Chain A
Amino acid sequence: MSESRRPCPDPNDDAATSGETDNPPARKALREQFEEVESGLRAFLRSRLRQESDIDDCLQVVFVKWVESAEQVAPAARRAWLFRVAMNEAARMWRSEASTHRMLQQRGSDQGTVESLEPIDRAILRETTEQVEQALRQLPADWQEVVRMRIHQNLTFQQIADQLKIPLGTALTRMRRATERLRRELDHDAT
């Protein structure tokens, strides 16, 4: 385990991001996006992994997956996606205590996108997405509207409030209630 904190891999390093985008500005943008979330990811991983070096290893894997999959992630869901991948990697690491080398070797057959998932994972993901979609349609229309504007159109809550001519707090409350209800529905379906 390394003692010093390693930064996330340099996206200009072909060995780290082989097969990914060849566009340097795009790679730079991806790196900047990752760095915006990196401190939060690190803080989160500190409550999951004991060794700082394990956190660095985990962040490296998350970054590589980010570079591979960023184009398929909706802008509004970037943070959520990165935290989910970090959580999965931390859990995997905690279970197997695999080395960074092993994880990087595995990444070819275990990526966070729909296209790269195993058939069974893909089927589960599709089913979950369908459940969420169905639950979403059961929500009051004004809640659905806020979810659509925030997640799919990536408008801020203030922009949503302005467009719908509602108070900022109302837009926020609709979103929060929508996510609460969706989670309840999914939890109910899971049990």
Chain B
Amino acid sequence: MTPEDPQQNDRKPTDDEAVLEQDEQCLLYLLDELTPASRRRFEARLATDRKLGDELIRQADLIATLSQTSPLGDAAIEPPRRDTRRWRWVAALVSLAASIALGFQIARIAPPTHSLASRDNLSDADRRLQPTNESALFAEAWASSQTIGKSSQDSLAEAAIEDPFDPVPEEPSSDMDSQVSWMFVAIASSDEMQTEGGNDG
């Protein structure tokens, strides 16, 4: 269907409407969307109305230039920021949930094994294995997750992967022993917990 010609209305347009109609007529004419009758009338006016010709050329110039621009893709039309912003919120919530879950795990295990008194009673061999508090916390959390259940381990791992705002900076690789020491503690702790579990059962 071709857009209707406003000139077909009986009512006489006001000056503003006439200008508007002229703009619109030029646009429709250049885009070949006028009816044949409207097109003939427009061309008849064009031969005598220099202002109409000026307007037509202005519009022609713009349309020709527009056609030389690169076609806008969906990405250009819909700013990608909206999605990014939404995903940032989701990531932040996941990160928060993961932090809370980790906190609970640590709080459940930490009190009996991290008092200074118990550290004082350790043998030299144990002290060599005893890492920093931070390492111990990580180790025990890991060991606990081995016995608590696979589902919670998976959710923690997923949260860690999905969390783009991990606040924990990477450790410098200067001291290899301190990096792996938590593993030794973890294995020892895991064995201990399994033994206790066996005794209980």
Is B37 part of the binding interface, using a Cβ–Cβ cutoff of 8 Å? Answer: no
* A83 CB–B CB distance under 8 Å: yes
Chain B interface, >50% SS class: helix
> Which one of B33, B44, B65 contacts A43 once the chains associate, using CB atoms below 8 Å?
B44
Contact between chains at A157 and B3 (CB < 8 Å) = yes
Q: Say yes or no: is B56 at the interface (Cβ < 8 Å to chain A).
A: yes
| CB pair B78 A141 closer than 8 Å | yes
CB proximity of B181 to chain A, nearest CB, Å: 55
Interface residues of A in 100-152 (CB under 8 A from B): 114, 125, 128-129, 132-133, 136-137, 141, 144-145, 147-148, 150-152
CB neighbours (8 Å) of A158 from chain B are 1-3
Question: B interface, how many residues as a size bin?
Answer: 35 or more
B169-197 toward A: CB 8 Å interface, digit per residue (1/0)?
A: 00000000000000000000000000000
CB distance from A118 to the nearest CB of B (A): 17
- With contact pairs A47-B50, A176-B27 given, residues A79 and B65 touching in the complex (Cβ less than 8 Å): no
For the complex, give the distance between the alpha carbons of A36 and B30 in Å: 12
Q: Are A129 and B27 in contact (CB under 8 A)?
A: no
A86 to chain B, nearest CB (A): 9
Q: A158-B1, A183-B58 are in contact. Are A176 and B24 (CB under 8 A)?
A: yes
The answer to whether the Cβ of B43 comes within 8 Å of any Cβ in the partner chain is yes
Chain A at the B interface: mostly helix, strand, loop or mixed? helix
The 0/1 profile, CB within 8 Å of A marked 1, for residues 29-71 of chain B is: 1111100000100111011111001001111111111111111
24 A-B pairs within 8 Å (CB atoms) are namely A40-B43, A40-B46, A43-B47, A44-B46, A46-B47, A47-B50, A76-B31, A77-B64, A79-B32, A80-B61, A81-B60, A81-B67, A83-B30, A83-B60, A125-B68, A129-B69, A132-B65, A136-B69, A137-B76, A148-B71, A158-B1, A168-B3, A169-B3, A182-B66
8 further A-B contacts with Cβ under 8 Å, apart from A83-B56, A152-B72, A182-B66, are A76-B63, A80-B30, A81-B60, A125-B68, A145-B77, A151-B67, A157-B31, A168-B1
Q: Which residues of B come within 8 Å of A, CB atoms?
A: 1-3, 23-24, 27-33, 39, 42-44, 46-50, 53, 56-72, 76-79
